[in-house]
Structure 1
Amino acid sequence: MAHARHMSEAIHGREEARLERSPVWPHSGDMGNKSPPERVYEALERLPPNVVGEIIEGELHVSPRPRTMHGRAAFRLGKKLGPFDQEPDTEGPGGWVFLPEPELHLGGNVLVPDLAGWRREHMPELPDVTGVELAPDWLCDVLSPSTEAMDRSRKMTLYAREGVNHLWLVDPRIQLLEIYRREGERWQRLGAYTGDATVHAEPFEAQKLNLGSL
């Protein structure tokens, strides 16, 4: 049984690596008479539910669904920030609308951060759509081995270009929080915190965050 378990883990690891190394879809045989953006988006829609697809500068990138530690960190962070997503007549700072794993349609790209937030003055009503075309005011990506390189490079560049104002990167493996603010089309890192640090992080300074709880 131990041997079978190790074999299963090895196969799963190879599958994650294969997904990460195979970014470009669809294949030429799927092209038909449709435009490249339409073909790529149709390929994204055909993906199985056990993967996450994003379209980055015309290429479909496929990564495994988040593992348990990743998902728990995103859930706990969303819960900590919950008081900011309250109706105006309830307790809490309010003023924000949050979505977990939204599909963002920004400048021809389709991006899926772990959490995203919009100030209520920018999104007074939540649109009933699959893809949100309004750039978030804040978002967070939880890092994992299969996605960290992309999250730190091309996705950060696109987020800045499309007008996201605040970005957090969380790595639950080492209890790391990095805080960024956009300056023009570049990111300024405001701080990086690890371990059991307690942080009041822009733009949610009113909420105390204990990294150990993530």
Structure 2
Amino acid sequence: MRPMEAVRPRVSYSDLERAPEDGRRYELYDGAMFVVPSPLVMHQRATRELLLALNDYSGAHGGEVLISPIDIVFTEYDVLQPDLVFFHQARVSLIAPDRPIRVPPDLAVEVLSPSTAATDRGKKMQVFARFGVQEYWIVDPKAQTMEVYKLESDAFILRQLAGVTDVLGSPTLEGFECRVARIFPSGTSTESP
């Protein structure tokens, strides 16, 4: 006889919307609810610089970049809060300014933190692929690297691993270039030079 296991109720986005505000951020993976921890300073610095770089790109090429916290509702039971998302100009009209986003972004970006790295590289990446996010960047402030993944068929393929001496490109954002050193301002890394 197997020991009794606790059954967790499946949580929906509607459940989250009805719940009293408690100051926490949540993500849903197939109805399982997870608290999103607050980011560290090095995470926020990298996120800020990426926001500025993507904002420069959208100013020149159109499109919209949005920053967390913002819910991307893939299904009622799969709701994520990527650090940054980008929508091409042709798809911006699909975003209602007064409702949750229910279409996959063209690009999702996650900046790693010690507490989120396994999720960002695992189940979050799988959800992005399953729902058709075309490109996924993983930013590692500690190692000062950026990984660019492109969706091919139903899986992400690493297209670029860029370090601080490299220029980041994008298969989805035509003409996008950014020096990786810009993303990691001095003092971002906790490693010795």
TM-score normalized by the length of structure 1:
0.73
The correspondence for 1:48, drawn from 11, 22, 33, is: 22
Q: Shift of residue 42 of structure 1?
A: 4.9
The correspondence for 1:63, drawn from 36, 40, 53, is: 36
Answer yes or no: is the 8 Å Cα contact 1:177–1:193 preserved in 2: yes
- Give the equivalent residue in structure 1 for 2:188: none
Unaligned runs of 5+ in 1: 1-26, 87-91
Between the two proteins, what is the percent identity of the paired residues? Answer: 26
Q: Distance in 2 between matches of 1:189 and 1:60?
A: 29
Does the C-alpha gap of structure 1 residues 205 and 175 become closer, same or farther in structure 2, counting only changes over 3 Å?
A: farther
The correspondence for 1:105, drawn from 61, 73, 89, is: 73
Q: Shift of residue 133 of structure 1?
A: 0.2
The alignment partner of 2:90 has SS state of: coil
RMSD: 2.3
- Which has the larger helix fraction? 1
**How many equivalent pairs are there?**
175
Unaligned runs of 5+ in 2: 1-6, 184-193
Answer yes or no: is the 8 Å Cα contact 2:146–2:163 preserved in 1: yes
Q: Distance in 2 between matches of 1:36 and 1:188?
A: 31
- Give the equivalent residue in structure 2 for 1:159: 128
Answer yes or no: is the 8 Å Cα contact 1:176–1:192 preserved in 2: yes
Larger radius of gyration: 1
Does the C-alpha gap of structure 1 residues 46 and 201 become closer, same or farther in structure 2, counting only changes over 3 Å?
A: same
TM-score normalized by the length of structure 2:
0.81
Tell me: higher relative CO, structure 1 or 2? Use CA pairs within 8 A at least 6 residues apart.
2
